[in-house]
Structure formats: structure tokens, C-alpha cells
Structure 1
Amino acid sequence: MDYLEEQLRELLLPVIKEEGVELIDLEIRGHANRLVIRVFVDYPSGGITIDKCVELSRLFLDRLDVEDVISGNYRLEVSSPGVDRPLKTIFDFSRNIGKKVRVIYFDDEVEKVIEGTILKAQQEEVQIKMAQEIKKIPVEKIRSGKILLPW
């Protein structure tokens, strides 16, 4: 995490907690005078609305303007994580328990792909229920996951 990202997290987290949402991810793209800051948020149970994202955007902009941590122009985007966002962290998997996923992971240095339903997501492993078995995958072996849509 770079210094600007760390500063932004520190500034935005109090607002995020006060508003009852969770920070899913924070991305900073671009360079000096043309930064794009993307803040992905959701309720703990999911289902954040566009109206709530707009409200959070205004609150974040107010906070950023007061603290003046970004010199130059920037664009702030606040949105939900979306269904096509890759599952990268244990938090991502735990928020999606019960959903069908495709997981890419390493087993003895060989990349493998499985599909199934997330049963558990703990600090050290994710459990995926497949047709005939339950696969326990250590978190450090997971490269990525993706929610499988029903259509």
C-alpha cells in the first residue's frame, strides 16, 4: 500500500464506519494531475444502493476537500463491488457464502480450477462444496475467485 492510499483509507474509514458500510477496495489510478480514485463499498449484508453511493461520494469529497491530501485534479468514483469483481481476500469470500463460484488456486505448484458453492471462509481457508466433495483451500494458495451467475 502506498502512502497516498494509506492516507485516503485513514480519511475515509471514519465516514465509512459512521455510515454503516464496509470498504471493499480502494484503487488509485492515473498520475499526479489526473488521478482517478475508486472506492468500492457495500453494506455488510450486501445490497448497497446507487443513492447511498452518491451520498457517500459527497461525504468523501467534503472530507477530501477539508483535509486537502490530494494536490491537483482528481476524479472520485464510489460504487458497489459489482457481481463481476474478482474475489481476492478472505473477506470477499466470507461475504459470498452460499454462492456458486469458480476458484483458481495452486496445488503443489500446479494451477487448478474448481467450481462449487462457498461453505465457509475462515482466516486460513475457504471451503468449497462441489458435487461429490468439500474442498478445503488454504487462503494463500488461492489466486482468484469469481461468482458464477445463474444465467
Structure 2
Amino acid sequence: MTAHNDIVRMNPLERRLADIVVPVLNDLGYELVRLAVLGRETPTVQIMADHSDGRLISVEDCEKISNAVSAVLDVEDPIPGKWSLEVSSAGIDRPLTRPKDWERFTGHLAKVEMEAPLEGRRRFAGPITGLRGQEALLRLEDGTEVALPLGAMRKARLVLTDALLKEGAPSKAGAEANGENAANQEDIH
């Protein structure tokens, strides 16, 4: 199981929520791919998850996760006032949030946006060539390889390609129920 501390970009509230959510997910046989809190008035807690073996999750999995996480968050009460919970699969063209994602998807096309310019640019795209320490490696169109610090990325995601679809990304089993996969299971508190 991946520790949520491996997820590169989370603010303090998201880390606190992950501290609560990850044990619940792990007990159910899932892994956290991404956790985000969006909005201010009535925030939405978004959870993206996979099966621990990397398979995409189904609508039923989203519902199971939502019920379990919702119950724990209601008890812990980490967010004052009203908030909502959305649970979904990371999908095939998933965000790349953990170091292991860069190793797992070596050879597939990714797009990366950096927080600040690196080598004079913020956006990079190309096949993933691996991971070196805390740097993702991409091969650019001109054939050069660039090392992008994980902690300096604003966002990174796989690009949907025929090769990714053929491989079935995490798996074809979950992809049948997939659109961006499965569904958003939403729960309002």
C-alpha cells in the first residue's frame, strides 16, 4: 500500500484529511491516488482511489468508499460547517500524484505543468522514461530527456492514447463501467 505521504502535492487540510481517510481506504483494499478540497463556502472533498492492486474502481466501489469515509469524517469532523464528498476512480488518463506512478507508467505519454518555469518553460509533454529520486523523467519531442522535480509540479497526468487504452491502464475490468471511470459518488454533509 502507498502511504499518502508519497502524494506529492497536498495542503495542510488535505494532509489532515488523508491521515483520516487513508487507513479507511487501506482497510477496504483501496489506495488513495488524489485527495483535494475545492471551494470555500461549502467545500467539496474529492477522493480518487484505485484498488490496491492497481485496478480501476467501479460504481459499487465508489459507494463503498463514500459510505465508509463519510462515517469516519462525520465522527472526526475535520471541516467545520457543510461540505460534500465526491469519490471517483482515477480513470485511465489519471493524474500522476505519486512517485510510483512515474515508474508504473514508464513509456506512456504524460503532460506536466510546473509551478514555476523550468528551463524557460512551464509545460512539458512526452513519454515517461522513469523516475530518478524525486524527479520524473520525460523524453521531449526533440529527443532530449528532462528531469522534472515532483515537488515543483502544479499538475501532471497521463494522456489518453491508443497504447494506454490497449494496455487497459490499470485494468479493463473497471474500464467497462468507466467513463472517467465508474462514477462520482457524492455525499453531502
Q: Which runs of 5+ in 1 are unaligned?
A: none
Secondary structure of 1:25's aligned partner: strand
Aligned length: 148
Contact 1:57/1:78 (8 A) holds in 2? yes
Q: Equivalent of 2:43, from 24, 35, 38?
A: 35
**In proportion to residue count, which structure has more strand?**
1
TM-superposition CA deviations, 1:30-78 (whole Å, max 9, x none): 335x221111112352422221111100000111222233332221111
Q: Which amino acid aligns with 2:128?
A: I
Q: Does 1:147 align with 2:158?
A: yes
Computed over aligned residues only, the root mean square deviation of the Cα atoms, in angstroms, reads: 3.0
Residue 68 of structure 1 aligns with which residue?
77
TM-superposition CA deviations, 1:106-138 (whole Å, max 9, x none): 443x11655432131243322334577461414
Residue 25 of structure 2 aligns with which residue?
16
Q: Output the TM-score relative to the length of structure 2.
A: 0.61
Q: Distance in 1 between matches of 2:90 and 2:122?
A: 25
Secondary structure of 2:147's aligned partner: strand
Higher relative contact order (CA 8 A, sep 6+): 2
Instruction: Please say which of residues 19-28 and 128-137 is displaced more in the overlay.
Output: 128-137
Bigger radius of gyration among the two: 1
Distance 1:36 1:146, change over 3 A: closer
* Percent of aligned pairs sharing the same letter: 27
Q: Which runs of 5+ in 2 are unaligned?
A: 1-10, 163-189
Q: Distance in 1 between matches of 2:16 and 2:124?
A: 38
